[in-house]
Amino acid sequence: MSKKILLVEDNEMNRDMLSRRLVRNGFEVLMAVNGQEGVDMTRSERPDIVLMDMSLPVMDGWEATRTLKADEMTKTIPVIALTAHAMESDRAQAMQAGCDDFDTKPIELPRLLGKINALLPK
């Protein structure tokens, strides 16, 4: 049974490109286009992992992650922050929000797959 990834990304081109690459690597991919939809889908779909863009409309990725980590139903689901901001302070801010890991755009798929596989439940 394939692992389920929720990709929360507002940029259609990024969403399309990354989701196709994840599907080719054997994952089931669900998609949300803003932070609130990401929170709602995490609660209803219970993905194995969430890939969270941090600059999102409606609710940003930091607030969406804080919401997920404060909820008993979703707090154990790993969240990987995805952002174009590559400074150490950006990583620290994502980790403070509750993210389990951090990756920068443009995505290097082998690196991201390594992080995904390290966090997926065995």
pLDDT digits (tens, 9 = 90+) for 65-114: 999 999 999 999 999 999 888 788 888 988 999 999 999 988 999 999 99
State the chain's mean pLDDT as an integer.
94
pLDDT at 86: 78
Q: What residue spans define the domains of the chain?
A: 4-108
Torsion sign over Cα 54, 34, 1, 109: negative
Residues 45-63: what's their mean pLDDT?
94
Q: Judging by DSSP bridges, how do beta strands 28-32 and 49-53 pair with one another?
A: unpaired
Q: What is the pTM of this model?
A: 0.94
What kind of architecture, by CATH, is found in domain 4-108? 3-Layer(aba) Sandwich (3.40)
Distance CA 14, CA 105 (A): 10
| Residue 2 confidence (pLDDT) above 80 | yes
Distance CA 74, CA 57 (A): 21
